[in-house]
């Protein structure tokens, strides 16, 4: 009773105040900022039923679109940022459903038409960032993925039902907010087709090699110049390539597994170094380009790493050719050749 009386009185005061203030919009006195001392707390305690959940009733963070089978351009791309405070793992909506996301979906697709396959995947701007995908389909089911290729998620929906698909991009780690691109496609595409976006620096050893001649095979063969260095001293050692004769013109050619725009070449010479007179790079179509020439001259430092900075080659290469002139020298044995460069 007493409580009701106070509340009623407070309401009358408020109404009176509102009437007094009406018209000129100016406050003649400060409004009451405190409720009556006996006022009850709100009937519904802080209304946050969606914290701890994913809510497809909420407006998507990054928009929505109507897509129909056969849409163009394919893939459809959306730039967005993953991450939020909802720990998806704890929701129990599926074993693949993980990561941290916002309550609101990140994106919404209204799908129509008939298609055999719809793929949705996410590629971060920075390779190695670990995002997840959580999708709610038109019948309310959950489709999730974490690491389809590398750390990048992909969800494939066969014969997708028409209707609303709500998409959350989660961050595997709760403290991450990952900028990247969400792709929607009917094609045979995946994160690997877009990952990195180029510019990734790779250092690699040769996977294959051939030579104008070999002192032996496999010992001292061209194959000895593949892989990482394994000749740890200066000397005539069979784990490095040597030509058949010690005083000839010879060449050694190396092939690499990943095409890169070259920035550095490191030749590990382990006997009689200094007789490389030309370095060529080989592009993906097999064309040769000379990038360095020098005079043959024995270097007292052995073993040594002949390091060549490469600039001005703006196309990817998969091979290196070394021309040697040992006429006035001896066996210039080569243990390994490292290629450093950026992916196109």
What residues make contact with Ca ion under the rule CB under 5 A?
Answer: 130, 146-147, 151, 224, 230, 239, 335
Task: Return the number of the residue (74 or 150) whose C-beta is nearest Ca ion.
Answer: 150
Task: Return the number of the residue (71 or 151) whose C-beta is nearest Ca ion.
Answer: 151
Q: Cβ 268 to Ca ion, closest distance in Å?
A: 8
Q: Which residue's structure tokens are 């009623």?
A: 8
Q: Cβ 89 to Ca ion, closest distance in Å?
A: 13
Q: Cβ 256 to Ca ion, closest distance in Å?
A: 15
Task: Return the number of the residue (111 or 151) whose C-beta is nearest Ca ion.
Answer: 151
Q: Cβ 200 to Ca ion, closest distance in Å?
A: 18
Task: Return the number of the residue (325 or 335) whose C-beta is nearest Ca ion.
Answer: 335
251 exposure class (CB count in 10 Å sphere: 0-12, 13-18, 19+): middle
Beta strands (DSSP E) in 146-194 are 154-158, 163-171, 179-185
What does the block give as tokens for 75?
A: 């893939």
Q: Cβ 97 to Ca ion, closest distance in Å?
A: 12
Task: Return the number of the residue (178 or 291) whose C-beta is nearest Ca ion.
Answer: 178
Coil vs helix vs strand at 3: helix
**Cα distance between residue 221 and residue 202, in whole Å:** 26
Find the radius of gyration of the CA atoms of the chain.
34
Q: Cβ 291 to Ca ion, closest distance in Å?
A: 23
Among the listed residues 248, 245, 247, the one whose alpha carbon sits nearest the alpha carbon of residue 216: 245
Task: Return the number of the residue (146 or 186) whose C-beta is nearest Ca ion.
Answer: 146
Task: Return the number of the residue (134 or 291) whose C-beta is nearest Ca ion.
Answer: 134
210 exposure class (CB count in 10 Å sphere: 0-12, 13-18, 19+): middle
Task: Return the number of the residue (130 or 166) whose C-beta is nearest Ca ion.
Answer: 130
What does the block give as tokens for 143?
A: 């489709």
Task: Return the number of the residue (106 or 130) whose C-beta is nearest Ca ion.
Answer: 130
Beta carbons within 8 Å of 261's beta carbon, 6+ residues apart:
313, 314, 315, 316, 317, 341, 342, 343, 344
For strands 201-205 and 333-342, give the pairing: antiparallel
Whether 122 and 82 have beta carbons less than 8 Å apart is answered as yes
Among the listed residues 317, 67, 249, the one whose alpha carbon sits nearest the alpha carbon of residue 167: 67
Beta carbons within 8 Å of 325's beta carbon, 6+ residues apart:
249, 275, 277, 296
Q: Cβ 3 to Ca ion, closest distance in Å?
A: 54
Coil vs helix vs strand at 13: helix
Residue 282 to residues 124, 198, 256, 290, Cα–Cα distance (Å): 32, 20, 10, 9
Q: Cβ 245 to Ca ion, closest distance in Å?
A: 20
Q: Cβ 263 to Ca ion, closest distance in Å?
A: 23
């Amino acid at each position: 009773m007493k409580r009701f009386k106070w509340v009623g009185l407070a309401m009358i005061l408020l109404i009176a105040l509102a009437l007094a203030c009406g018209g000129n919009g100016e406050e003649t006195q400060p409004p009451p900022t405190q409720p009556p001392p006996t006022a009850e707390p709100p009937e519904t305690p802080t209304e946050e039923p969606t914290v701890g959940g994913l809510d497809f009733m909420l407006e998507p963070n990054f928009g929505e679109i109507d897509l129909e089978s056969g849409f163009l351009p394919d893939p459809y791309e959306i730039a967005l940022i993953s991450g939020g405070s909802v720990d998806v793992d704890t929701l129990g909506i599926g074993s693949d459903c993980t990561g941290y996301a916002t309550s609101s979906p990140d994106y919404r697709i209204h799908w129509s038409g008939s298609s055999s396959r719809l793929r949705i995947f996410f590629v971060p701007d920075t390779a190695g960032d670990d995002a997840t995908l959580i999708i709610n389909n038109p019948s309310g089911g959950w489709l999730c993925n974490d690491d389809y290729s590398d750390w990048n998620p992909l969800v494939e929906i066969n014969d997708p039902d028409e209707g609303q698909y709500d998409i959350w991009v989660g961050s595997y780690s709760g403290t991450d907010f990952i900028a990247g691109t969400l792709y929607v496609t009917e094609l045979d595409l995946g994160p690997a087709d877009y990952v990195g976006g180029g510019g990734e620096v790779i250092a690699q050893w040769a996977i294959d090699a051939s030579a104008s001649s070999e002192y032996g095979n496999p010992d001292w063969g061209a194959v000895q110049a593949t892989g990482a260095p394994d000749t740890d001293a200066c000397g005539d050692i069979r784990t490095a390539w040597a030509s058949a004769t010690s005083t000839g013109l010879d060449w050694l050619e190396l092939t690499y597994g990943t095409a890169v725009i070259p920035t550095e070449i490191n030749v590990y010479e382990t006997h009689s170094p200094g007789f490389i007179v030309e370095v060529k790079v080989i592009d993906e179509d097999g064309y040769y380009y000379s990038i360095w020439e020098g005079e043959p001259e024995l270097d007292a430092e052995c073993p040594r790493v002949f390091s060549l900075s490469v600039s001005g080659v703006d196309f990817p290469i998969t091979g290196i050719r070394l021309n040697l002139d040992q006429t006035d020298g001896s066996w210039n044995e080569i243990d390994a050749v490292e290629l450093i460069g950026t992916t196109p």
